[in-house]
Amino acid sequence: MSQETIFSKIIRREIPADIVFQDERVTAFRDISPQAPTHILIIPNKLIPTMNDATVEDENVLGHMMVVAAQIAKNEQIDERGYRLIINCNRDAGQEVFHIHMHLLGGKSLGKLIS
């Protein structure tokens, strides 16, 4: 299996993070370099390096990430105005930590993603 990441240590609470949600399947915490007023990372507790590594067995946790994102957006009071969910896959897409993570961004107008 792939090597452990910094996210693995956050999941186990071995390094500090502003965790906003955690259950047996996913962990969500505030990004240390926010790109919007609300910028939260939602990660599976199981190490899956990239979306290319996801399997049928991972469908449940990947779907759960979406449901958790919607709940966090509501808790952060950005659900009505809108928010963006982003998963980058590999270097050309901007993935820096090779542990799948979904960015939840909101709290301001985010504009077009691609023009």
User: What torsion, rounded to 10 degrees, do the Cα atoms 54, 23, 40, 31 define?
Assistant: -90
Q: Which three-class secondary structure state does DSSP give residue 29?
A: strand
Per-residue pLDDT of the chain (115 residues; tens, 9 = 90+): 457 899 999 999 999 999 999 999 999 999 999 999 999 999 999 999 999 999 999 999 999 999 999 999 999 999 999 999 999 999 999 999 999 999 999 999 998 876 5
The CATH fold assigned to 6-106 is: HIT family, subunit A (3.30.428)
Q: Which residues are catalytic?
A: 101
Alpha-carbon distance 76 to 6, whole Å? 25
The pLDDT of residue 1: 45
Burial class (CB in 10 A: 0-12, 13-18, 19+), 97: middle
Q: List all residues 6 or more positions away from 36 whose beta carbon is below 8 Å from its beta carbon.
A: 105, 106, 107, 108, 110
pLDDT digits (tens, 9 = 90+) for 17-33: 999 999 999 999 999 99
